[in-house]
Structure 1
Amino acid sequence: MKSFDIVTLTVNPALDKSAHFRGLVPEQKIRCGLPRYDAGGGGINVSKAISRLGGQSYCVFTSGGPIGTMLKELVQKEKIEYEAIEIQSWTRESFVAVDDNTNLQYRFSFQGTEITTLEKDKIIQTIQKLKSNYLVISGGLNEGLSSDFYQIFTGIAKASNSKLIVDTSGEALKKVIEAGVYMIKPNIGELAKLIDVESLEMEEVNKAAKQIIAKGGAEIVVVSLGPQGAVLVTKDSYDFVPAPNVVKKSTVGAGDSMVGGMVWALSQNKNLKEVIRWGVACGSAATMNEGTQLFKFEDAKRLFEWLKDK
């Protein structure tokens, strides 16, 4: 059994493309600049974030067709140790386009390709043979996978004493907290759905998160508040961290960067006050870059220093 400090799993990765254009006119050919290509998808982005902070992780993801081949090459360029699970369907693509006339960003995300029963079993078997201190599952599910698929990994994590961190949404997230995990990162809208209410005000977040913790859904609930920042809640604590004021160019990968920053900080035995501040620093730093580039270490470090006393 291979052993790693951090393992990330991405069942629905994407080849991220980004480009610039001038003027969005219907029924006319829109000429774009040279595209930028990045390996994307929740867990892959988390591994990239950890790498930018000087940490290491083992990145597990599905890969299919020529797009999957390109995805593997891009992960390799990031100098991240990985294992690609080959699938029959092609890996999906996503596209981010920025209109230089208005500075508006348009994001196009395609549906994940179908996962067969055999491929599903391969994903499970791959994680079963790995031992880690932290297992991070991030991103949505493909066609062919039921909403309780991630729930399978709660048992695997408990059997190997791994701390399971899950960043997903909808029914998949609901199913995961039924079994109980170490940490989840919903936004405020997702948190409301988890406790079956229409919406939540800021002052209600602490009580809502503690409700999930009391039922054994998670030990730590980190609630992303977008431009307002984030809160980290445990059974006996509540910590609100404001987002630093930065010039935003793209929000792509900001949530994954936040998770990566927190997991890296946990792996470095930092306290929870530092964990949430590294998360907010990395998430905010990611918005300072265009397209799908995530963040630069020097930006994240500077923002963390500013947040230390907040």
Structure 2
Amino acid sequence: MSNINLIIEERAADIGKFLVGRLLPFRQKRMVGPFIYIDHMGPVKLNERNNFDVLPHPHIGLSTLTFLFEGSIMHRDSIGTEVEIKPGAVNWMTAGRGIVHSERTPAYIRHSEKNMHGLQIWVALPKELEQMEPSFYHIPESGIPCWETDGIQYKLIAGEAFNRKSGVPVYSPMYMIEIKSSQKQELIIGKHLYGESGLYILEGAIESDGNIYGPRQMLVTKDSQLCTFTIEANSTIYIFGGEPFPEERFIDWNFVATSRELIAEAKQKWKDQLFEKVKGDETEFVPYPTLPKK
């Protein structure tokens, strides 16, 4: 019996002059553990006339995790943060009761060719913390636990697993793990996992129960404790997972909450422009989307 419960293919989504491959939410699986949103950005080459510019926009009820493979993004937010994220580092922004942020190509490379490739992720907050004060943490690549076992390279980007703990300050039991292999090898890692798990293939392939799965697919397991597969040579995969929440989560645009009332309040607050402005990026913003008139 296969341990794969669901196969999610990337679907194209437009985030404003930039196409991404969306993995979550999915109609048959809205969340994996506390992970409620996963976008694969790129890889894409931008010329001197094109830049990655996501205008100021709001969030509530979640933490965002940005992890780049290539490129650079300047993050600014309404609590005064201004930091450049580069490949291998982690930007962890917790919206709580509300935060506004922008993501742009840094000024020093705006007029040159550049690549963009990475993952953008939302992690829902526990109900008792969804209205907490907003915060921001930047963790450099050197601060992320890395190790090698039997020729397999591991990186614990966030959370706890493999008897290790990342410095990213998460708020519920979860994990995001990078696994790289230069050789074909069987991995039996279920004993290190818990809750729900999704395995995303960035490059290369894995084999499970005689089936081969390739890039841009996420495999959701029936039981994370039975996570066993063969990783092909020169492959990179990511495992997302953790304990699911007992309550349903509602999602509307950039807002996540356990109640529709909280989302309605945030929606009106944004329409009325009552959120705090982004420091150093106050003049532009993304309006709340409206359906086109027929």
Q: Give the TM-score of the pair, scaled to structure 2.
A: 0.30
Which structure has greater strand proportion? 2
Which structure has greater helix proportion? 1
Q: Give the TM-score of the pair, scaled to structure 1.
A: 0.28
Q: Name which structure has the greater RCO, CA cutoff 8 Å, separation 6+.
A: 2
